[in-house]
Amino acid sequence: MARIGVFICHCGENIGRTVDCAAVSAAAAKMPGVVVGVDYKYMCSDPGQQMIRKAIIEQKLTGVVVGACSPRMHERTFRAAAAEAGLNPYLLEMANLREHCSWVHSNQAEATQKAIDLVRVMVAKVRRNRALRPIRVPVEPTALVVGGGIAGIQAALDIAAGGKKVVLVESGPSIGGHMARLSETFPTLDCSQCILTPRMVEAASHPNITLMTYSEVASVEGFVGNFTVTIRRKARYVDPAKCTGCGDCFNKCPIKKIPNEFDAGLGQRRAIYVPFPQAVPNKPVIDAAHCTMLQKGKCGLCAKVCPRGAIDYQDQDRLEKVKVGAVVLATGFQLWDHAAYGEYGGGRLRDVIDGFAFERLASASGPTGGLIKRPSDGKEPQTVVFLQCCGSRDDKVGKKYCSKICCMYTAKHAMLYRHKVYEGRAVVFYMDVRAAGKGYEEFVRRAIEADGAEYVRGRVSRITRRRDGKLVVRGADTLAGRPVTIEADLVVLADAVVPRPGSEKLAQLFGVGYDQDGFYSEAHPKLRPVETAAAGVFLAGACQAPKDIPETVSQASAAAAKVLGLFAKPELEREPVIARVNRTTCAHCRACISACPYGAAKDFDIVDRAGKVLRAVADVNEGLCQGCGTCASVCRSHSVDLDGFTDEQIHAELNAL
Amino acid sequence: MKTIETGRLPDLAQALSAAGYRVVAPIEEGGVVRFREWAPGLAIAPGVVPANSLKDFLFPRSEVVARFALEPGGFSPAPVERSAVKTAVLCARPCDAAALAALDAVFNWDYRDGAYNARREAATVVSLACSKADEHCFCTSVGGAPDGVAGADAILRPADGGRLLVLDALTEKGRALDQAAAGALAEGPAALDAPAALPRRFDPEAVGRWLAANFESPFWKEAALACLGCGACAYACPVCHCFDLQDETDRAECRRLRNWDSCGFGLFTLHASGHNPRPDQSARWRQRVMHKFSIYPQKFKTLACTGCGRCSRLCQAGMAIAATCERIEALGR
Amino acid sequence: MMKTETSTAPAPAAFEPRITAFVCNWCTYAGADLAGTSRLQYASNMRIIKLPCTGRIDPLFVLKAFENGADAVLVSGCHPGDCHYTSGNYHARRRWTLFRKLLALTGIGDDRLFFSWVSAAEGQKFADLVNDVTAKVRKAGPFRAAHPGRRAS
Amino acid sequence: MKALREAAEKLLREKRVSLVIGYEGRKGRPAFFAAKPEDCGRLAYDASCRQNLAAYLGKPEIRARLPVALVAPPAVLRSIVVMSAESQVAPGQVLALAVDGDSYLGTFDAAGAAELLRAKYSTLAPEPALLERVQGLLQKSPAERAAFWEAEFSKCTRCYACRAACPGCYCSRCIVEKNAPQWISTAALGHGNYTWNVMRAFHQSGRCTLCGACEAACPQGLPLMLLNAALDREALEEFGSRPGYDPEAKPLIGSWSADDDHSYMR
C-alpha cells in the first residue's frame, strides 16, 4: 500500500505569494495514497530537508512529492535527502510550482488550482515509481587516440602522464601531422619542428603509449568504458622490428620521381621511403602503388641491400583488436583544393601554390633548403601575391565559414618571405584581417609596419600567366575603390581548411555527429565543446572546426582531462533511465532497433538449454541506452518500456488530470 | 385473424411506440441489416437474419455494473441505476427467441443477474416465422423450427405469399402487445405460407456423445486450422454469454464494466503466470463446439446453439459449426 | 444502448479549457522554466506532462488525454537538430505528420491538437504559445462530449 | 486455375512446403489448407477472395508448419514482403503462388515477390472511389466528421475480426490486450471503440497494403478502408512510403529524414 508524503514549499514568497500553499498541502493530504501533506517556507533549507527525512523514516513513506521549484533546480538536492533517509532517490518526484505556476500566474485561485493539479499528477506518478539503481559499467582504463598530429600527440601525452594507457593510431607512416610540415609558427616565429619533434619522440618512447602508425580504425563495437576497436595495420613491407632506419633501401631505390606528399609535391621521394628525415618511427614503408617489385615482381633491390633482411614483399594488412574505455578523435584537416577556382588557373598554374607549399619552401628542412624558389623555374620570386579567404567565406564555390588560421599564417608567410628576399614585394589581398588572439594583432601589424607587407583590401578577380612566366593578378582595391593589377612571380592561396577525407566514415563508426561541412559535432557548442553525442568519445583539434596550434593543444589537453576523469573510477555510473524489453510479448518487428539513435536496441536470440534458438526478440544494451524512449513509442504492442517514464506512470499521470 | 401488411410493419412499430414501447426491429444500414431501435421514418427489413442478435438488448456488449466515487481519501460505492425500458422486439427470428431459454438459464442458475432480468422482464419478443432459409440455417438440426414459438411472446406468420403477416399472441406480454397494437392490425382471413423447408443436417445428441468421448482427438487440430481467433462468431451468437469484468478509472470515479468476451481469443484463458490451458486455436474451437453441444446441455439440459447460422455467415475464414457437427457425427458412426 | 454516449453538453458561459501538454525535458520544459524565471505571465489552463524526449510520446497518450476530457493537446519539444538524443524529435515529427491526418479525418482538427518546437532559450515563445493555444481552444469551445474519442461521464 | 493447382501440387510433392494455403472452390471461397498433393485439386481463386491469407503467417499453428505456400494476389504479395521486412518471414520459409485475376504468375519467395511487384504492380493505389470518399469526408466540418465516425464506431462490438484478418497484426500480445496499463478501453463504447479503431489504423501506417481484408471481415460493415487509404496516401505524399515493395525496407515509423515536413509545427 502506497504511503506518499507531499511537501509543499513556499520558496519564501516566490510560491506563497500567488499559490495558497496551505490549501495545496491540505488538498494533497486527501489524495489517494497520501499520508503526509505539509507546507514549509523553504523546503530546500536544512530544516526543510530534515522535515522530509524525518517523515520518510517516521511515516515509513514509500514515495515523496516535493512541490517547489523546477526539478532542474533542486531534484538532485531532494533526491539526495531522500537517499540519506534510506528511500531510493528515484521514489521522489517534484511538482514544479514555481517556474511553471506561481511565477507565471497572478490569479491566486487559478494558480492554486493548477498547483493542486500538478501535485496530484506527481502523486499519481510517484505511486507507480519503482526503486531504480544507477547503471554501473566497468571502465577499461585505456584510451584510443585517432590521429597522430599535434592534437593526438598532446592528448596521448597528457593521458599517459595521467598514468593511463593510450593507443595512438596514425594513418600515415609517421606521426607529426601538418605541424611537422610548418616552417615557423605564429606569432612567435619559433621553428615548428624544433618544438614538435621532441613531443613526437616522447610519444613514441612513452611506456604508456602504444604507437600504431600506418594504421586505421576498421570497426568499432561496444560503448563508453568498453569499446572494442579493430585497427587495420596497413602492410609496410618493412618489418619495423628488424629495420634500424639506416636508409640503405631508400637511397638505392631506383624509383626516384614520386612527388613527396610531405613537401606538398615540391620535392620527390622513392617508392620505399620515410616521409621526412625526422619521422617517428624513423622506419621506411614501401608505397605499393609505385614499387615495381610489388607491381610487376621485378627489382627487389631494397631487399638485396637491406643488411637486416627487414624487407618483406609478402607483407599484408593485419587486423588488430584493442579494448579501450574512451576515444579521442583528432583526425585534423586538409586544405581545400583551389582547382575549383577557374579564374585562379584551376590548379594548372605551377606558380600558384597553397599555404603548405609555401611552408615547405620556407622550411630549412624543405626541398629548397629554405630558399624561396618558385616551382616552375626555381627562380627566386621578386613579387609574391598572397590571397586570403581562398574558398573560405564563399558559399558559392567554396565554404561558408571562415577558416580562422589563414589571416595569421598569411601574415607569417609575408614576413618570412621579406626576411628571405629583402627587395621582394609581398602583396596580401584580404577581405578582413581577423587577428583575435594573444599577440596576433601585433604580429600582423609587424608584418605590415616592420616587414613592409602591402595589404590590399579586396578580391582578386583572375590570375593569368604571361608568356614571360609572370603571373598577372587582377583585382580590386575596395578601400581606394580602383582596380589593381600586379605582375607577380608567385601566388600563394590561403585555401580553406576542410576535414580530412573519410572523416564522415570514421564519425559513423563511432556514432559521432558531423555538420554539413564534415566537421565533427560537439555535444554542446558552449558547455560540452570536447564531448560528442556518443558517450566516451571526445574531440581534439581541427576535426571539430578550423583551429590554430594553441587552440588545438588546449582542446587536446581538455579531451585528455575528460578521459582521465572518466578513468578516475573503475566503474562509471549512469542515470538508470533506460529502456527495457518485455521478451515475452516482443514480436521482433525490429522497429525499435531501427529507431534507436544509439544502436542500443539489438536483436537477441532466446535459446533453450541446448543452445537452440527458440525465438528472436529485441533487447536493449544498458551501456548504450541514453533513455530517450523512442523505442518505447514505436513499439506497437508496448513491449518496450522506459524506466522513470513507464507506461504505468504516464497513464496514471493522465488519469489524474 | 389479426393481420398486417408486411410493407406496413412501421405502422405496427409506430402504434407500439405510441403505446410506450421502445421498439427494436431489423433495420438496414450501410448494407448491413441489424437489430436496432426503431424511429419514425425507418423501414423494417424482415427478409433476412440480422447481423446482430436479440442478445444485444438483454445482455449489452458493455455495461457498467458498479461505480465507485474517488472521494478524497478513498473509494465509496455509487449507485448504478437498474431501470430497464419497456421494449418490444419486432421480427425476432424463431432462432433468436429460442435462445432466450439458454440465456435465462445461465443468468439465473446460481445468481439472479439483476441487469439481465430487468431487461428480460421489460422485453416482449415478437418473432417472425421463416418462409425461407439460407445455406447457413440449421435450426431444424438443433431442435428448432422455422416457425418455432419457443421463447416468443407473440409470432408473426407470413401469409398470402408474404404480402400479409398474421399476429398470434402467445403469452401475457404478447396479449398486452397485441392490445397496444390493435390500431395497426386488421381483422380478416389470410392463407398462411408454408414455413421454410429445412432438412435436418445432424443429430446433436450423436454429436454430444462423440464430443464427450473425444477431447483429445487429432480431428480438432485440422478442423481449426482456418480459425483466426476473432470473436465475430461469439458476438453474433444469440446464446454466447461469456463476459469479462474491467475497471476503468479516471480522476472522478472508477467504473466496473461488464464486456462481452469470447472463447476464441487467446487471452480468454491466459493465466497471469503466462500458462494458457487452451494454448492454441484448436483447443479454443473445440471449447466452442463442446460448450454448445456437450457441456451446456449437460448442465442446463438445453443446447447452446439455435441454428441461426450467424457464426458461419459472418466468419471471414469460412468456419462453419454445422459442417463441423456433420463431420463429427460421421466420425461417431 | 449507446444513448449515454451521445449527449451533447452546451458550452458553459465562461468556458475554461483544459489543455494537456506533452513536452520534452531538455528543450520545452526548460523553455517553460525560462518563461518562469523571466516572470512572463500566461494563461493557467495548461497542465504539463514531462517526458525525456518527444520521441517517447506515443499517440495513445494524446488519445488518453482527450478521453479524460482535455479540450486540446499540445506536443512540444526540441527544434530539429537540437534533440538531446540527436533524433528523437525527428522520429516524433514523422509520427505526428501521420497521426494528425488520422485525427483530422476523425474530427479532431487543428484547433484541438497543437505541435511546436520550443527550445530552452524560448521562454517568450512558450508563454506566447500557451496564450495563443488557450485563446484558440476558448474559441473552439469544449471538445464535443459527443466526439467518440471522449469518455462520456 | 489449372496452372495454380499444378504448381501447388508440385510444391507439396517435392516437399518444398508442408502446407499450401489457398481458397477453396466452394461458395464464399473460404480458406483451404492443402497438406497432400491430391488436395490441390480443390484450390480456386477469383476476385471474390477477400481474405488475406498472409494473416495465417502470424498464427503459431501455421508457423509451426513452415515452410508453407500461400495463394497470393498482388496485395497479399505485398503483405509477405512487409512481413519479411519486419523479420516475421524468414527467407525461404514462405512461398507465394502469385495470382492475378484468373492467371497464375508463378511461385516466388519474398525477394522474388518484391521484384514481381516492382516490375508489374509498381503503381498499385487505392480505388479512386475510395479516395473520393476520403476527400468527401475531409470536406465536412470536424463536427460532422466526428458524428460520422461516432455513428460508425458505435456499431463496433470489439470482436477484433479486423485484427485477425490483418497480416500486419501479428503481435502475440496486442496493445489492446495490455492491461497494465490498459491504454485502450476494452468496453465496446464510444471512447474505447474510437481509440481502438484509430490506433489499429495508425499501427498499420507505412505497412498497410490496402488488401481490404479488415473491412471485408468486419461483421458490422465499418468503413475501415477510409482510415487505411487516408494514411496510405499521406505516407506516400509525405514520405514516398510504398509498403511491400522492398524486403529490406526500414519501417516508416522508426526511421526519419532531416527534410521531413513540419510546416504544421511552430
Specify the pLDDT at position D69: 97
Of B257, B280, B318, the CB nearest to D60: B280
Looking at every residue in chain A, the average pLDDT score rounds to 94
Does residue C8 carry a pLDDT above 70? no
Does residue A426 carry a pLDDT above 50? yes
Measured CA to CA in angstroms, residue B314 lies from A593, D54, D208 at distances of: 39, 20, 23
Q: Does residue A39 contact residue A71 with C-beta atoms inside 8 Å?
A: no
Chain A partners (3+ C-beta pairs within 8 A): B, C, D
Q: Which three cell numbers stand for residue A285?
A: 614503408
Measured CA to CA in angstroms, residue A383 lies from A182, A390, A394, B172, D266 at distances of: 22, 19, 26, 124, 57
CA–CA separation, D266 and D264 (whole Å): 7
Contact A32 B74 (CB under 8 A): yes
Over residues B189-228, the pLDDT tens digits come to: 999 999 999 999 999 999 999 999 999 999 999 999 999 9
Does residue A498 carry a pLDDT above 80? yes
Over residues D155-199, the pLDDT tens digits come to: 999 999 999 999 999 999 999 999 999 999 999 998 999 999 999
Q: What mean pLDDT do residues A44-48 have? A: 95
Contact D153 C148 (CB under 8 A): yes
DSSP type of residue A180: G
Contact B56 C1 (CB under 8 A): yes
Measured CA to CA in angstroms, residue A22 lies from A27, A28, A46, A253 at distances of: 9, 10, 20, 91
Over residues B64-93, the pLDDT tens digits come to: 999 998 877 677 888 887 778 999 999 999
Scanning A624-643 for CB atoms below 8 A from C yields 626-630, 632-634, 638, 642
Over residues A238-293, the pLDDT tens digits come to: 999 999 999 999 999 999 999 999 999 999 999 999 999 999 999 999 999 999 99
B253 chain-C contacts, CB cut-off 8 A: 153
- Predicted TM-score of the model (pTM): 0.81
Q: How confident is the model at residue B256 (pLDDT cuts 50, 70, 90)?
A: very high
Specify the pLDDT at position A171: 96
- Cα dihedral value D178, D179, D185, D188, nearest 10: 80
Does residue C2 carry a pLDDT above 80? no
Q: Minimal CA–CA distance to A157: which of A109, A206, A119?
A: A206
**Better pLDDT: B272 or B83:** B272
Query: What's phi and psi for B71, nearest 5 deg?
Result: -75, 155
Of C30, C42, C55, the CB nearest to A630: C55
Over residues D70-82, the pLDDT tens digits come to: 999 999 999 999 9
Q: Minimal CA–CA distance to D187: which of B241, B250, B230, B64?
A: B64
Q: How confident is the model at residue C13 (pLDDT cuts 50, 70, 90)?
A: low
Measured CA to CA in angstroms, residue D196 lies from A253, A656, D180, D202, D232 at distances of: 78, 22, 16, 10, 18
Contact A99 C47 (CB under 8 A): no
Give D162 to chain B, closest Cα distance, Å. 8
Over residues A163-196, the pLDDT tens digits come to: 999 999 999 999 999 999 999 999 999 999 999 9
D31 chain-B contacts, CB cut-off 8 A: 226, 317-318
Question: Is C1 at the interface with chain D, CB within 8 A?
Answer: no
Chain C partners (3+ C-beta pairs within 8 A): A, B, D
B244 chain-D contacts, CB cut-off 8 A: 186
Sign of the dihedral through C-alpha A418, A422, A427, A431: positive
Question: Is A533 at the interface with chain C, CB within 8 A?
Answer: yes
Contact C42 A627 (CB under 8 A): no
Q: Does residue B28 contact residue B43 with C-beta atoms inside 8 Å?
A: yes
Q: What is the ipTM of this complex?
A: 0.94
Over residues C31-87, the pLDDT tens digits come to: 999 999 999 999 999 999 999 999 999 999 999 999 998 999 999 999 998 888 888
The distance between the two most distant Cα atoms of chain B, rounded to a whole number of Å, is 71
Does residue C145 carry a pLDDT above 70? no
Does residue C12 carry a pLDDT above 90? no
Q: Does residue A626 contact residue A596 with C-beta atoms inside 8 Å?
A: no
DSSP letters, A84-119, are HTTS-GGGEEEEE-IIIIITT---HHHHHHHHHHHH
Does residue C7 carry a pLDDT above 80? no
Q: How confident is the model at residue C146 (pLDDT cuts 50, 70, 90)?
A: low
Specify the pLDDT at position A610: 94
Q: What ranges do the domains of chain D cover?
A: 2-120, 128-239
* Residue % of chain A over a pLDDT of 90: 90
Q: How confident is the model at residue A221 (pLDDT cuts 50, 70, 90)?
A: confident
Encode A136-175: b = buried (16+ Cβ within 10 Å), e = exposed: bbebbbbbbbbbbbbbbbbbbbbbbebebbbbbbbbbbbb
Q: Minimal CA–CA distance to B299: which of B290, B311, B286?
A: B290
Over residues B171-189, the pLDDT tens digits come to: 999 999 999 999 999 998 9
* Residue % of chain B over a pLDDT of 70: 100
CA–CA separation, A635 and A587 (whole Å): 9
D183 chain-C contacts, CB cut-off 8 A: 60, 64
Q: Which three cell numbers stand for residue A341?
A: 577556382
Question: Based on C-alpha coordinates, what's the Rg of chain A?
Answer: 32
Q: Does residue A206 contact residue A157 with C-beta atoms inside 8 Å?
A: yes
Specify the pLDDT at position B251: 83
Does residue A353 carry a pLDDT above 90? yes
Contact B57 C1 (CB under 8 A): yes
Q: Which domains does chain A have, with CATH numbers?
A: 4-126 (3.40.50), 142-234+318-332+508-567 (3.50.50.60), 248-305 (no CATH), 335-498 (3.50.50.60), 579-655 (3.30.70.20)
Does residue C101 carry a pLDDT above 70? yes
Looking at every residue in chain B, the average pLDDT score rounds to 94
Contact D59 B230 (CB under 8 A): no
Q: What mean pLDDT do residues A119-137 have? A: 94
Mutate to test the interface with D, among B56, B316, B319 (most CBs of D within 10 A): B316
Q: How confident is the model at residue B50 (pLDDT cuts 50, 70, 90)?
A: very high
Of A512-516, D137-141, D165-169, the poorest mean pLDDT is in A512-516
Q: What mean pLDDT do residues A505-518 have? A: 86
Does residue A130 carry a pLDDT above 70? yes
Mutate to test the interface with C, among D133, D179, D186, D191 (most CBs of C within 10 A): D191
Question: Is A1 at the interface with chain B, CB within 8 A?
Answer: no
Chain B: residue whose CA lies nearest to A28: B72
Give A188 to chain D, closest Cα distance, Å. 45
Specify the pLDDT at position C83: 86
Specify the pLDDT at position D219: 94
